[in-house]
Chain A
Amino acid sequence: MDIRTAVPTIYGDEWTRFGETWKSQVQQLRERFHGQIEDVRMPQEQPTDVPIVYVKKSAVIEVLGYLKAEPGFDYDFLADITATDEEVDPRFEVVYNLYSTVKKCRIRIKVRVAENEDVPTAVGVWAGANWAEREVYDMFGVKFAGHPDLRRILMDYRWVGHPLRKDYPLRGYQIFPTTAPIDTDLLK
Chain B
Amino acid sequence: MSKDGSTSFLTTRLEDFISWGRKNALWPLPFGTSCCGIEMMATLCSDYDMARFGAEAIRFSPRQADLLIVAGIVNAKMAPVLKNIYDQMADPKWVMSFGACASSGGIFNVYSVTQGIDTIIPVDIYVPGCPPAPEGVIHALMRLQERIAAGDTHSQRREAAQKRGATQKGARV
A and B are partners in one complex rather than unrelated chains = yes
On A, residues with C-beta under 8 Å from B are 155-156, 163, 168-180
Whether A170 pairs with B111 at a CB distance below 8 angstroms is: yes
Nearest-neighbour CB distance to chain B for A156, whole angstroms, equals 5
Contacts of B81 in A (CB 8 A): 179
Nearest A-chain residue to B120, judged by Cβ: A175
Q: How many residues of B contact A (CB 8 A)?
A: 10
**How would you classify the secondary structure of chain B's contact residues: helix, strand, loop or mixed?**
loop
Contacts of A177 in B (CB 8 A): 80
A102 to B112, CA, bound (A): 40
Contacts of A169 in B (CB 8 A): 111
Whether A174 pairs with B111 at a CB distance below 8 angstroms is: yes
Residue of A156, A168, A174, A177 most packed against chain B (CB within 10 A)? A156
B3 at the interface (CB under 8 A from A): no
Whether B84 pairs with A168 at a CB distance below 8 angstroms is: no
Nearest B-chain residue to A168, judged by Cβ: B111
B109 at the interface (CB under 8 A from A): yes
Query: What 8 A-B pairs are tightest by C-beta distance, nearest first?
Result: A172-B111, A179-B80, A156-B77, A178-B80, A179-B81, A163-B111, A173-B111, A170-B110
Contacts of A170 in B (CB 8 A): 109-111
- Not counting A178-B80, A179-B84, a sample of 15 additional A-B residue pairs whose C-beta atoms are within 8 angstroms of each other reads A155-B76, A155-B112, A156-B77, A168-B111, A170-B111, A171-B111, A172-B111, A173-B76, A173-B112, A174-B76, A174-B111, A175-B76, A176-B76, A176-B77, A176-B79
User: Can you show 28 pairs from A to B with CB atoms below 8 A apart?
Assistant: A155-B77, A155-B112, A156-B76, A156-B77, A163-B111, A163-B112, A168-B111, A169-B111, A170-B109, A170-B110, A170-B111, A171-B109, A172-B111, A173-B76, A173-B111, A173-B112, A174-B76, A174-B111, A175-B76, A175-B79, A176-B77, A176-B79, A176-B80, A177-B80, A178-B80, A179-B81, A179-B84, A180-B77
A156 to B79, CA, bound (A): 11
Nearest A-chain residue to B84, judged by Cβ: A179
Contacts of B80 in A (CB 8 A): 176-179
Contacts of A174 in B (CB 8 A): 76, 111
Whether A171 pairs with B110 at a CB distance below 8 angstroms is: yes
Nearest-neighbour CB distance to chain A for B24, whole angstroms, equals 35
Nearest A-chain residue to B115, judged by Cβ: A173
Question: Within B67-91, which residues are at the interface with A (CB < 8 Å)?
Answer: 76-77, 79-81, 84
Nearest-neighbour CB distance to chain B for A175, whole angstroms, equals 6
Contacts of B111 in A (CB 8 A): 163, 168-174
Bits for B91-111, please: 1 = Cβ < 8 Å to A, else 0.
000000000000000000111
Nearest-neighbour CB distance to chain A for B43, whole angstroms, equals 28
Residue of B76, B84, B109 most packed against chain A (CB within 10 A)? B76
Contacts of B110 in A (CB 8 A): 170-171
Contacts of A168 in B (CB 8 A): 111
Contacts of A155 in B (CB 8 A): 76-77, 112
Nearest-neighbour CB distance to chain B for A164, whole angstroms, equals 10
Residue of B79, B84, B109, B112 most packed against chain A (CB within 10 A)? B112
Nearest A-chain residue to B113, judged by Cβ: A173
